[in-house]
Structure 1
Amino acid sequence: MSAPEHLLLVEHDVEGHATGWVDADPQSSQLRVTDVAATRGDGVFETISIGSGHPQALDAHLERFARSARMLDLPEPDPSLWADAVRALAELLADHEEAWVKTVLTRGVEGQSMPTGWAYGTVSGDFRRERTEGIDVVLLDRGLRSDAAATSPWLLAGAKSLSYAVNRAAVREAARRGADDALFVSSDGLLLEGPTSTLVLRRGAELLTPPTDLGILPGTTQVDLFAAAPDWGLQGRVATLRPADLEEADAAWLVSSVRHAAPVRSVDGAERSIDSELSAAMNGFLRRRLR
């Protein structure tokens, strides 16, 4: 039996303002072939976890959605309209413990001024193995210095854009090397992020994550984990990290909205220990979030 899926098309006027949304058939053609989402990857998106009908970290996701839109000079998404669309899809998926909704905003059809927008929702895959047994990770050079976001803002470092060819290529390269996922490193040797995830390390009683001014995406899941950290006797802190810090850490995770907290069990083939108890606590917390 196929997973349920639902689609809402967000309508805009010629000035780029969202005017409402309508139900659509996710199995029918909806996107014009000249839309720059398809031809240029010119747009932004967010993927929001849904727990038993409750959108998780919705405000943070919509704030990041708007931030990415500003970075690409797209019309400002109406937060209340997009929030209503996400909640409507979440309600349709309320019978499932874990689901997700993706919001997308593109520059629209080539040569026209009206953006294209939609929200799509379906059930999450099974990530029990990744959350319990962990994942194998390889370090990949991103080919940019850690200050690229400041020196070259046109590279859109830190924007959640539809231009994901590099991210997907990194995952394929990880697979070629016998790993599950990748972790980017700047050309000057700083740890950054995964293609679809945020790095979190545990060192003693601290949880550490790299700073977003290195041109990485602000992690909504990481923020929620740091807020919960005192419940586990830990404190969260943003810190500049290098591969040696990853090697010396007591434990490490790649965290994201849908897969949640995946403990890192090896880096470049070198095995490392997994904090199974904390991993279970993190994933239990993330599944139970009601906001």
Structure 2
Amino acid sequence: MHALTLHRLDLGSAGEPADCVTSLEPQDALLTATDLSATRGDGIFETVVVVHGIPQALEAHLERFERSAAMLDLPAPRRDLWRFAVLAAAEALSAHTPRGAVKFVMSRGDEAATGGPTGWALGFAPDSRPGGATPEIAVVLLDRGYRHDVAQTSPWLLQGAKTLSYAINLAALREAERRGAQDVIFTSIDGFVLEGPNSTVIARIDDVYVTSPAELGVLPGTTQADVFAALADQGAAVETRRIDVDELRRADAIWLCSSTRGAAPVRSLDDIPWEVDIPVTDRMNDALNARKG
């Protein structure tokens, strides 16, 4: 990831936003050493892919941002201010690259001060794809350690919120690397498919494209939602429901969807080779690339 633009939001005291977005150099100092995003990972974020200066699915990302803020008892983000910051970062980004991304972040703020949250939007160029192609990925299944109903039984675990606390997700990706894979699909201890560390799972089972519901404590996928809309428009059957691991193992194709990567096909699952449906993958990503915002 190569940082290209940075915009700081003045969120005011007690979360009351002031109408102020300041452009900074990406290397400029932004946080204090006592900001809770750095010391505790206490905050939320979203990442929006930007194509020719246009943020994709921005309203869906802002809606999910608001949902995460509510789950963490953070002040409700004022959507117009955050939208302005993302659009400013996207416009600045377009001068550097035709395809990039903007990450926007709200921290709870400085634990040594009485002010409100800290906010910023960072424009960056994601790691490039070889030849511009969507990567085919080797995936392993890892147990997340929770039942499928953890979001209902233990909401304080914040399953389904997009938080800055990514240590477990990164540890899972390192475990995948140790096993010779590039990515992970988390499962529940009672045998249901959840999500990836930074992606949503789509599986084609009995000619139906399925994904796991948010009630399982997974993050609602903005990219997955756009893929499902495109598939439905093309006449395919789509469904959001529980998927057990045995069902996943008989799927004839699997994808991991994320904002920056698009729809990435799974080429192996737990070292077992998996079929890659190139025509459908291309249709998915063509639809994503054709979005106007």
Q: Which TM-score band applies after superposition, normalised by the shorter structure?
A: over 0.9
Partner of 1:26: 26
Give 1:132 shift: 4.4
Counterpart residue identity of residue 275, structure 2: S
Comparing 99-108 and 118-127, the one that deviates more: 118-127
Q: Distance in 1 between matches of 2:13 and 2:177?
A: 44
Secondary structure, aligned partner of 1:236: strand
Question: Which of 254, 257, 277 is residue 255 of structure 1 equivalent to?
Answer: 257
SS in 2 for 1:102: strand
Which deviations, in whole Å up to 9, do the C-alpha atoms of 1:252-272 show, x marking residues without a partner? 000000011110010110001
Stretch moving more, 142-151 or 238-247: 238-247
**RMSD, aligned CA:** 1.6
- 8 Å CA contact 2:134–2:261 kept in 1: the answer is no
1:66 aligns with 2:66: yes
Following superposition, the deviation at residue 237 of structure 1 comes to 0.6
User: Does 1:16 find its partner at 2:18?
Assistant: no
- Structure 2 distance, partners of 1:118, 1:235, is 39
Structure 1: 5+ residue stretches without partners: none
**Mapped contact 1:131–1:261 kept (Cα < 8 A):** no
Which of 142, 157, 160 pairs up with 1:155? 157
Number of aligned pairs?
290
Residues 133 and 88 from structure 1, CA distance in 2 versus in 1: closer, same or farther, beyond 3 angstroms?
closer
Give the partner amino acid of 2:98. Answer: E
- The residue number in structure 1 matching 2:5 is 6
Deviation at residue 284 of structure 1 after TM alignment: 1.6
Indicate the SS of the match to 1:59: helix
Deviation for aligned residue 1:131: 5.2
Please give the secondary structure, in 1, of the residue aligned with 2:102.
strand
Please name the residue that 1:201 is paired with: 203
* Change in 2 beyond 3 A, CA 1:275/1:268: same
Q: 1:17 to 1:128 in 2, by over 3 A?
A: farther
* In structure 2, distance between residues paired with 1:129 and 1:271: 23
**Residue 104 of structure 1 corresponds to which residue in structure 2?**
105
Q: Identity of paired residues, percent?
A: 48
Q: If the length of structure 1 is used for normalisation, what is the TM-score?
A: 0.96
Secondary structure of the corresponding residue to residue 14 of structure 2:
coil
Q: Which residue of 2 is the match for residue 75 of structure 1?
A: 75
Secondary structure of 2:48 counterpart: strand
TM-score normalized by structure 2? 0.95
Contact map agreement 1:148 1:215 (CA 8 A) in 2: yes
In structure 1, the residue corresponding to 2:9 is in which secondary structure? strand
